[in-house]
Amino acid sequence: MVFLLLIFLIVIHRGYSQKENVRYSPPHICALKNSSVIINCNFTYPPERSIMKTFWTKTKNRNTDNEFPDLSEDPEYSQRLQYLGDKQKNCTMRLSHVTQKDEHKYYFRFITDKANVKWLGEPGVTLTVLDLQVESPERVTEGDSVRLTCKSSCALTDRATFIWYRNSQPLTERRDRNNILLLQSVRREDAGRYSCALQEHTYISPEVHLNVVYPPRNVSVFMNGSGEIVEGDSVTLICSSDSNPPAEISWIKGGTTVGSGRIYNISKIRSDHREEYKCKSRNEHGEKYSEAVTLNIMCELVSSVTITLNYFFYMIVSDICLF
Ligand SMILES: *[C@@H]1O[C@H](CO)[C@@H](O)[C@H](O)[C@H]1NC(C)=O
Ligand SMILES: *[C@@H]1O[C@H](CO)[C@@H](O)[C@H](O)[C@H]1NC(C)=O
Ligand SMILES: *[C@@H]1O[C@H](CO)[C@@H](O)[C@H](O)[C@H]1NC(C)=O
């Protein structure tokens, strides 16, 4: 009885091992662009046969000699494909510098010494090639915190370590433990082009621009010329301010808005311009006024008038301007 069972088991075992078979583990592989991928593969064949040829193919269409095309003879692959297996049971291969064009099903093929004992390893192994993508809000207000995510639909191992770049410079500080970069209390200097990568992989994601917005600051008024203004002169006031997005500028004289735009021209200045001017810088995040500037207008007294005037009168007119 035991003997029969043993025979039975041997027959079962022989029956199993005689079957041509190819197994891929895992059957789906997600590879990062430009990385090297190892496709693990095992095969079995009838023990009384010997293997004449092993190769990988990516199509089930036969070529002219009624055989599947050997990938290692394909110029697109020959430099990148490396057969790591043997002619016994291991059919592992490595494909390096994976590109989007490599997204395919791949099949292992073996040919034995017996003409009709050939095998194509169905259903093949599926290679998916994926990009890394930075997900980020387009803009963040200064002082807020922002979270950037390095997205990959590849099921990456937990040990995957992400590297972040700003303007192509690796960020050594503030790297999060997983695929998230958290910027707390964002500063203007944090604006820039962000990309991410995986440690030990050369592929870097496309860059994503992070814009840091903030209300106006450093609002000040500059005046062209020496500052000595004589009646009838033209004066240009320039409002400078720092903001993102750019601010709308308006000009205030006394309490009244008198103009807009970064540059304010006063032509033919008269004494009633002797007032305080301010500019106001405003964007959707806030507004800020400059310090007031006072135009210091010198009176130009016509000398012939002065000469004929007595001293008393001169004292009076020197403080107001004549027209
Ligand atoms: C097959 O060969 C590869 C490369 O030599 C090796 O890493 C892998 O462990 C082998 N697989 C088996 C099942 O022996
Ligand atoms: C791909 O990898 C090579 C080195 O292995 C590197 O020189 C190249 O810059 C990488 N290409 C991209 C697009 O990341
Ligand atoms: C603008 O203001 C900041 C402080 O808010 C200061 O550090 C910086 O030097 C100022 N820049 C200019 C150009 O005045």
pLDDT tens figures, 270-303: 776 667 899 999 999 999 999 998 887 776 655 4
pLDDT value for 30: 86
Kindly give the distance from the C-alpha atom of residue 152 to the centroid of ligand 2, in angstroms, as a whole number: 18
Average pLDDT, the chain: 83
Question: Mind listing the pLDDT tens digit for each residue in 11-62?
Answer: 444 444 457 889 999 898 888 888 889 999 999 988 888 999 999 999 988 8
Question: How many distinct helices (H) and strands (E) make up the chain?
Answer: 3, 26
Quick one: which ligand is closest to 288's CA? 3
pLDDT value for 269: 79
Cα torsion angle, 254, 259, 262, 267, sign = negative
pLDDT at 126 over 90: yes
pLDDT at 310 over 60: no
pLDDT band for position 175 (cuts 50, 70, 90): low
Question: Mind listing the pLDDT tens digit for each residue in 245-275?
Answer: 999 999 999 889 999 999 999 888 777 666 7
**pLDDT (mean) for 291-319:** 58
Q: What is the DSSP letter of 255?
A: T
pLDDT value for 306: 46
Q: Which residues contact 91 (CB under 8 A, 6 or more apart)?
A: 22, 41, 42, 43, 54, 56, 83, 85, 108, 110, 121
**pLDDT (mean) for 141-169:** 85
Pocket test for ligand 3, best of 188, 217, 239, 240 (most atoms within 8 A of CB): 217
pLDDT at 159 over 80: no
pLDDT band for position 161 (cuts 50, 70, 90): confident
Instruction: For residue 83, count CB atoms less than 10 angstroms from its CB and return exposed for 0-12, middle for 13-18, buried for 19 or more.
Output: middle
**pLDDT (mean) for 84-106:** 93
Note the residue count of the chain.
323
Domains of the chain: 20-130 (2.60.40.10), 133-206 (2.60.40.10), 214-298 (2.60.40.10)
Percent of the chain having pLDDT more than 90?
52
pLDDT value for 153: 67
Question: Which of these, 192, 143, 157, lies nearest to 171 by C-alpha position?
Answer: 192
pLDDT value for 169: 94
Can you say how many angstroms the Cα of residue 267 is from the centroid of all Cα atoms in its chain?
Answer: 49
pLDDT value for 314: 44
Kindly give the distance from the C-alpha atom of residue 183 to the centroid of ligand 3, in angstroms, as a whole number: 22
Distance between first and last Cα of the chain: 134
pLDDT at 106 over 90: yes
CA-closest residue to ligand 2 atom 5: 202
**pLDDT (mean) for 186-203:** 89
User: For residues 90 and 305, which has the higher predicted lDDT (pLDDT)?
Assistant: 90
Give the ligand 2 atom nearest the CA of 34. Answer: 1
